[in-house]
């Protein structure tokens, strides 16, 4: 086993012979405990708790960040299963990108969970020489501008500080698509279009806007009365869309309109759903985000009952970013609200640097990260071009950011059309004729083309709304409010991947891949009755527990392959906090196939090409980071042609 401790992109090497390098913990209430492995069991967790050790976050490599008020480390070090116990080093707290700070900039200071931002903010203000009113505090996070390395170092010395990261720039990830994704469902699901669902879109704004926090009264004709509210974040009291990006995204999710000159009916994937829009656009033309992204999702979720959040923006960088504080915010919200599906674009950095680009907020474990394909509309790779031949809708768009993430997790999760997507155009006066034609010629002022993983994301968000509706309709009593893990599992399991055939009988590529994750979204395959089966286990498993689900095989059925997908919403943290594993077992309990290559993913999948008889889908809790905690999960399976 390695003798290192890793956190926030930092590494501390522990001496092999004497890994206990801290004398005591008099100066701090926070330590890390490294065990010999494997995962510590419930008895050991309770023993640690009795000594005053509270496990807070799993850091990987059998190491736990812990709260520990006592000053003597000896009682913990004497435990037979413990390899090392040391104070939480200051060297681990600061993002490596900040260690050679040369110019002033804003930082996010994340506090340990028992610390109060309101109490720590005056201390940080005094260190930095800033007015307390200049600090932005939100729950456990403080945003402050630092001018020099000395102030940064002094802030990192505060015991309440868990991590310090730079504030990075967020950028926008700039009808036929529904057909490409089979979001036009066959009978008996043909009427499913997201009715009863609410999608929230966090973007540049919406059309002409309206009164902050209220439903707009003058809306684009494709939206009717489906816009429940527009919310201002980036500009005080303003929710209009002078950029055009947000309105286009909204149309791809829930729009339902007509254009005589642009092809007749033009609809979003969930054209029966309602909409809430949060405007992030600021007066400088960039995006302003809450210090803690948790707030971004909370109002649409709590006030407007939105259970699908669509986010067509990502963290701008010139190198691949790690899982960061924004990703942690997303995972925190998903962990606390396990029925909310959060969707993010992969980003448009494909080919810009290195072989992998997905990172930052798009690397969140619990969101659905969406890559882009070309789509079937004629295009040159970016713009609509009627002179071009129609392309394979599954061909990867060159601009789509690639995975996996730096942590090794599969990203993107899925891919969908993102090139030359026709959708609603903002009627804001700032939208010029040149802007309307930027991604291809349009003959109707109310409609325009755009390209990017931004365009793929709302299409997938709409698909998630359809899946929520379909699950609820199938069993309103039991599944009236399905978990986000189930929706993600249905979406991924239905996506075209290895072992499945397209409509033209050509084989799909092997999955997971670096550019389309687990496959190309195909909604119909996710919800077809009597072909797709699922279990949404809200009670979950304790560490060491296991659950079997019968996979009944009809020997007369010509379909002899099966695909099984496990998804669970993990606790926030760079490392996988809770580890569930998926395997297929024969009736004699021998393993047929497992997911050992995906053990650090909270999405796991098995494709078995030859089923010879009854099988059991086996889910096991190998590691649960907190004492007495259960990990819910969802598993979906279907037989393949």
Instruction: State which of 126, 151, 166 marks the end of a domain.
Output: 166
Instruction: State which of 106, 131, 166 marks the end of a domain.
Output: 166
Amino acid 494: pLDDT = 92
Q: Give the CATH number for residue 426.
A: 3.40.50.200
* 220 and 79 together in one domain: no
Confidence of residue 49 (pLDDT cuts 50, 70, 90): very high
Strand order in 631-640's β-sheet?
532-541, 631-640, 561-567, 603-608
Within-domain flag for 434: yes
Within-domain flag for 516: no
| Contact between residue 637 and residue 563 where contact means Cβ atoms under 8 Å apart | yes
Domain that holds residue 457: 170-474
Q: Give the CATH number for residue 120.
A: 3.30.70
* 331 and 248 together in one domain: yes
Separation CA 567–CA 490 (nearest Å):
9
* 161 and 213 together in one domain: no
Separation CA 608–CA 606 (nearest Å):
6
Separation CA 199–CA 188 (nearest Å):
24
* 103 and 248 together in one domain: no
Within-domain flag for 483: no
Within-domain flag for 519: no
Lowest mean pLDDT among 29-33, 252-256, 560-564: 560-564
* 83 and 150 together in one domain: no
| Region 472-477 average pLDDT | 82
* 354 and 429 together in one domain: yes
Within-domain flag for 145: yes
* 205 and 193 together in one domain: yes
Please tell me what DSSP assigns to residue 87: E
| Contact between residue 84 and residue 20 where contact means Cβ atoms under 8 Å apart | yes
* 349 and 203 together in one domain: yes
* 197 and 339 together in one domain: yes
> 501 or 549: which carries more pLDDT confidence?
549
Residue 251 is inside which H or E element, if any? helix 245-254
- Whether residue 199 is predicted with pLDDT greater than 70 in this model: the reply is yes
pLDDT digits (tens, 9 = 90+) for 250-264: 999 999 999 999 889
Active-site residues, by number, are: 203, 245, 454
Q: Give the CATH number for residue 534.
A: 2.60.120.380
Instruction: State which of 427, 447, 474 marks the end of a domain.
Output: 474
Confidence of residue 504 (pLDDT cuts 50, 70, 90): very low
Confidence of residue 277 (pLDDT cuts 50, 70, 90): very high
Within-domain flag for 32: yes
| Region 578-599 average pLDDT | 82
Token pair 């394909």 in the structure block, residue: 373
Cα 320 to Cα 283, 415, 625, distances in angstroms: 28, 20, 28
pLDDT digits (tens, 9 = 90+) for 92-112: 999 998 876 666 789 999 999
Within-domain flag for 18: yes
The first and second tokens of residue 318, run together, are: 């010139």
Q: Model-level pTM?
A: 0.92
Angle between helices 294-304 and 325-336 (to 10 degrees): 30
Residue 14 CB neighbours (<10 A): 18
* 458 and 559 together in one domain: no
> Which stretches of 136-184 are DSSP H helices?
149-156, 176-180
Helix (H/G/I), strand (E/B), else coil: 321? coil
Residue 250 is inside which H or E element, if any? helix 245-254
Within-domain flag for 518: no
Domain count of the fold of the chain: 4
Amino acid 628: pLDDT = 93
* Backbone φ and ψ of 631, nearest 5°: -115, 110
* 231 and 354 together in one domain: yes
- Whether residue 176 is predicted with pLDDT greater than 50 in this model: the reply is no
* 351 and 255 together in one domain: yes
């Amino acid at each position: 086993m390695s003798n290192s401790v890793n956190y926030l992109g930092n590494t501390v090497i522990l001496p092999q012979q004497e890994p206990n390098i801290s004398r005591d913990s008099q100066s701090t209430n926070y330590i890390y405990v490294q065990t010999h492995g494997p995962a510590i069991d419930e008895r050991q967790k309770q023993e640690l708790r009795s000594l005053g050790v509270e496990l807070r976050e799993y850091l990987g490599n059998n190491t736990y960040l812990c709260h520990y008020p006592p000053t003597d480390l000896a009682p913990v070090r004497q435990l037979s299963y413990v390899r090392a116990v040391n104070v939480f080093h200051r060297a681990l707290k600061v993002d490596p990108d900040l260690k050679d700070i040369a110019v002033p900039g804003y930082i996010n200071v994340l506090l340990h969970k028992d610390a109060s931002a309101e109490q720590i903010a005056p201390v940080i203000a005094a260190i930095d020489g800033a007015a307390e009113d200049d600090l932005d505090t939100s729950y456990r996070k403080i945003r402050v501008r630092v001018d020099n390395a000395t102030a940064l170092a002094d802030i990192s010395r505060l015991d309440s500080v868990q991590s310090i990261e730079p504030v990075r720039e967020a950028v926008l990830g700039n009808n036929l698509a529904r057909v490409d994704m089979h979001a036009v469902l066959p009978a008996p699901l043909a009427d499913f279009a997201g009715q009863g669902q609410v999608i929230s879109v966090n973007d540049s704004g919406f059309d002409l806007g309206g009164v902050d926090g209220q439903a707009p009264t003058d809306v684009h004709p494709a939206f009717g009365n489906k816009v429940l509210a527009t919310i201002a974040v980036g500009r005080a009291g303003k929710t209009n869309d002078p950029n055009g990006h947000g309105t286009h995204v909204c149309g791809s999710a829930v729009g339902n309109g007509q254009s005589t000159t642009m092809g007749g009916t033009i609809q979003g994937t969930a054209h029966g759903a309602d909409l809430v829009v949060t405007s992030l656009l600021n007066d400088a033309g960039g995006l302003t985000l809450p210090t803690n992204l948790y707030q971004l999702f909370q109002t649409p979720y709590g006030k407007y009952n939105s259970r699908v959040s669509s986010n067509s923006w990502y963290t701008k960088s010139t190198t691949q970013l790690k899982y960061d504080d924004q990703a942690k915010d997303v995972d925190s919200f998903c962990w606390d609200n396990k029925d909310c599906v959060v969707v993010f674009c992969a980003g448009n950095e494909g080919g810009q640097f290195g072989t992998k680009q997905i990172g930052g907020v798009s690397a969140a474990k619990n969101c659905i990260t969406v890559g882009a394909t070309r789509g079937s509309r004629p295009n040159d790779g970016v713009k609509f071009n009627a002179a071009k031949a129609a392309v394979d809708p599954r061909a990867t768009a060159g601009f789509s950011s690639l995975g996996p993430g730096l942590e090794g997790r599969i990203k993107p999760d899925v891919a969908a059309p993102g090139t030359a997507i026709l959708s609603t155009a903002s009627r804001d006066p700032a939208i010029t004729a040149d802007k309307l034609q930027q991604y291809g010629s349009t003959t109707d002022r109310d409609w325009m083309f755009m390209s990017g993983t931004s365009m793929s994301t709302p299409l997938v968000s709409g698909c998630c709304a359809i899946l929520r509706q379909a699950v609820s309709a199938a069993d309103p009593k039991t599944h009236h409010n399905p978990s986000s893990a189930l929706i993600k599992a249905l979406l991924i399991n239905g996506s075209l991947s290895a072992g499945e055939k397209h409509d033209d009988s050509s084989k799909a590529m092997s999955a997971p891949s670096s550019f389309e994750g687990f496959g190309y979204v195909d909604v119909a395959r996710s919800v077809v009755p009597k072909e797709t089966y699922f279990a949404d286990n809200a009670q979950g498993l304790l560490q060491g527990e296991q659950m079997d689900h019968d996979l009944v095989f009809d020997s007369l059925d010509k379909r002899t392959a099966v695909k099984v997908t496990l998804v669970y919403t993990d606790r926030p943290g760079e490392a996988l906090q809770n580890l569930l594993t998926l395997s297929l077992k024969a009736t004699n309990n021998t393993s047929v196939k497992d997911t050992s290559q995906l053990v650090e993913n909270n999405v796991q999948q098995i494709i078995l090409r030859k089923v010879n008889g009854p099988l059991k889908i086996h889910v096991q809790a190998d590691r649960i980071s907190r004492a007495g905690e259960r990990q819910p999960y969802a598993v979906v399976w279907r037989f393949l042609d």
